[in-house]
Structure 1
Amino acid sequence: MSGPTEELANNSFAARLSNVYLSILALFCFKLFIKVSLNLLTYFYIVRGNRKEAARISAEFYEYGRHISWVDRSPLHDAASQGRLLALRNLILQGHNVNALTIDHVTPLHEACVGDHGACARALIEAGANVNASTIDGVTPLFNACSVGSVACTEILLQNGAKPQSLIYNPSPIHEATSKGHYGCVEALVTWGADVDMHIPHLGTALYTACVCQELECARKLLREAAEKDCTAVVKLLLEFGADINTRNSDFQRPVDVAPPSSLTEGFLLIYEATPQLLGQMCRLCIRDCVGCDRLHLLSNLPLPYRLRNYLQYK
């Protein structure tokens, strides 16, 4: 009689053990389903523009708030974006995190810089704000400052350790400043070591950007920098895109005057001055000037031969 009883007990134990495993598997699948659902829900809110609700879901269910604050708009963000310095300082004294992040990784320092609020930016940096913080799109506070032409914020950031040059695939401060003609920002970036020859695959160099956008003051600055560094290829590129060889700096010096003596750049500039421009080049610059920098992207739509359109677009 003991045999059947023992076998029945073993079967009962195996059944209970099997139920435990099934319960664990069911719980795992349920948690996985919840996480996938929350991810989809968060994405849905982001697409619909309701980032506040998406941030709340992230903070509540994924526990991101243990070390950094994942909120869509903290009081510090609001004060920084509006330039309310006194309120900002009070919030900092109350212990608010100066590196609080939105769901897009935007910090209060990003907001201060895009609003051209230099005093707020300085207060945040003095309280420990990360000057090289990057959003999910790779945007830094320095990029924001250059985007709006805030020379004050640009200099404050650079003085406190902001990197003047971004990674090659991230938004570039010097390209942004150059494309919008923010000469003061370009000058600050160059002073702090930004590489005017940095090439970005979809943008080219900052010099190329200055020429394409026909930003005269930025082109002048970059032309002088290229001349001083004996960058003959860069000087040639700028002149090809219409840079003025007779432009003068604050000391009334032309590019040939600041070029290193007996350098290749000096020799090239002297020859260029004495050589008449090609008629084709003069026509190209004249046509591009008539079209205007805001409409250069429409050159490909002109009813012209394929080779001529490419010539006008420097292809």
Structure 2
Amino acid sequence: MTVLEEKPFAQQLSNVYFTILALFCFKLFVKISLAILSHFYIVKGNRKEAARIAAEFYTVTQGQGSWADRSPLHEAASQGRLLALKTLLSQGYNVNTLTIDHVTPLHEACLGDHVGCARTLLEAGANVNATTIDGVTPLFNACSRGSASCVELLLEYGAKTQLEICLPSPIHEASNKGHSECLDVLISWGIDVDQDIPHLGTPLYVACKGQQISCVRKLLYAGANVQQGRHLDTPLHAAAQQSNTDIVNLLLDFGADINAKNIDFKRPVDVAPARSLVERHLLMYEATPRSLCLLCRLCIRNCIGRSRFHLIPQLQLPTVLKDFLQYRESIRNF
């Protein structure tokens, strides 16, 4: 009789253990699923959804230093509220507070072209070379926004123009979006205008793809290699594909090789749209020998070398010739 009374209790105890184990496994499964889902949203670029998941399911605090959402410091920096920013810093907010994707207040200030906020953050000790999980730096954000003032400020505080070859490049971003003033600042600080990123190519190639003629001109004046593009594709290939006659003419003036072949053994004229103005222009250029003036200018510039282009105004030559060597006068004037 006693055995009969104890058996149901043992079964109940066994059921309790089984229930606890089942709940533990379910909780573990939910956590793993949410972690995978958050990672999926981050990879897809949906940071807000990833932050929402983290905030709702992991009960991360929303105060200062929260990794799941933006802090008041981020909000003040992104909106350019300088007084609020200074107040928050005086209250002890961490100047390098990170969001879920490692965005700092300095990233936000530069993306919003808020120079005053950026300066205040830097003076408070902000990391000028902080990178997000995507490798984006404040300098990249400044170039993306077209804020030449922020670019100058960041460089003054020791910003590196490129941390690693695989990370987003400020000069490529400026070239792609046509922010020639940012390019001017970067070039004046001695950035490598032929910086080559495998999946993007050179800044000149990117500018040609984006049809940013002002940036193409700036890069060429700074001595960018007119033949270096992406892999075997030259900038002239990119300009021909985009059917941009003005950029094609500019590249040809700087000595672009019209017979260069890409990985598919195609010349620029072969990748130009059929019966387009660019195709006709390239075919005519092939049939017309280059002038002696153009050949002489290219030869002299090659002998001088890119690193000494700034010395051309000091040459003992007539002003009109010095202007010609610097592409400040049209070849038709000679």
How many residue pairs end up in the alignment? 248
2-structure distance, mates of 1:255, 1:122 = 43
Name the structure 2 match of 1:218.
Answer: 215
CA distance in 2, matches of 1:113, 1:162: 13
The one-letter code matched in structure 2 to 1:242 is N
Residues 211, 243 of structure 1: 8 Å contact kept: no
Query: What is the Cα-based RMSD across aligned positions, in Å?
Result: 4.5
Q: What amino acid is the match of 1:35?
A: K
Q: What CA deviation, in whole Å up to 9, does each residue of 1:124-182 have, x standing for no partner?
A: 11112122222222222111111111001111111112111243332221111011211
Q: 1:91 aligns with which of 80, 84, 88?
A: 88
What aligned pairs does 1:93-112 form with structure 2 within 5 A after superposition? 93-112=90-109
Contact 1:169 1:200 in 2 (8 A): yes
- Which residue, out of 28, 31, 42, partners 1:32? 28
1:144 and 2:151 aligned: no
Distance 1:257 1:48 in 2: 49
- Counterpart among 123, 127, 132 of residue 124 in structure 2: 127
Q: 1:135 to 1:50 in 2, by over 3 A?
A: closer
Unaligned 5+ segments in structure 1 are 1-17, 247-253, 274-315
Q: Do the aligned partners of 1:226 and 1:234 also contact (CA within 8 Å) in 2?
A: no
Say if 2:101 is the partner of 1:58: no
The residue aligned with 2:110 is: 113
Partner of 1:261: 304
Q: 3-state DSSP class of the match of 2:98? A: coil
Does 128-137 or 178-187 show the bigger shift?
A: 128-137
Which sections of structure 2, spanning at least 5 residues, go unmatched? 1-13, 238-247, 255-296, 310-320, 325-334
Say whether the 8 Å CA contact 2:110–2:118 is kept in structure 1: yes
Q: CA deviation at 1:90?
A: 0.6
Distance between the aligned counterparts of 2:304 and 2:112, measured in 1? 44
Structure 1 stretch displaced more, 24-33 or 197-206: 24-33
- Is 1:182 aligned with 2:155? no
Structure 2 residue 174 is the aligned partner of structure 1 residue 167: no
Structure 2 CA distance, aligned partners of 1:260 and 1:163? 31
Answer yes or no: is 1:242 the counterpart of 2:239. no
Cα deviations by residue, 1:65-113 (Å, 9 ceiling, x for unpaired) = 8995314221111111111111111111111122222222222111111
1:258 is displaced (CA, Å) by 6.0
More displaced 10-residue stretch of structure 1: 34-43 or 214-223? 34-43
C-alpha distance in 2 between matches for 1:173 and 1:121: 17
> In the aligned structure 2, how far is the partner of 1:24 from the partner of 1:192?
64
8 Å contact kept, 1:207–1:222 = yes
CA distance in 2, matches of 1:262, 1:55: 51
Alpha-carbon distance between aligned partners in 2 of 1:156 and 1:32, rounded to the nearest angstrom: 48
Give the letter for the 1:95 counterpart: G
3-state SS, counterpart of residue 304 of structure 2: coil
1:78 pairs with 2:90:
no
Residues 97/173 of structure 1: CA separation in 2 closer, same or farther (3 Å cut):
same
Query: 1:35, 1:209 → 2: CA distance?
Result: 42
Give the alignment's TM-score, normalised by structure 2: 0.58
Which whole-Å CA distance do the structure 2 matches of 1:101 and 1:242 have between them? 47
Given residue 31 of structure 2, which amino acid in structure 1 is its aligned partner?
K
Cα displacement string for residues 183-214 of structure 1 (whole angstroms, at most 9, x for unaligned residues): 11112222334322222233211011222333
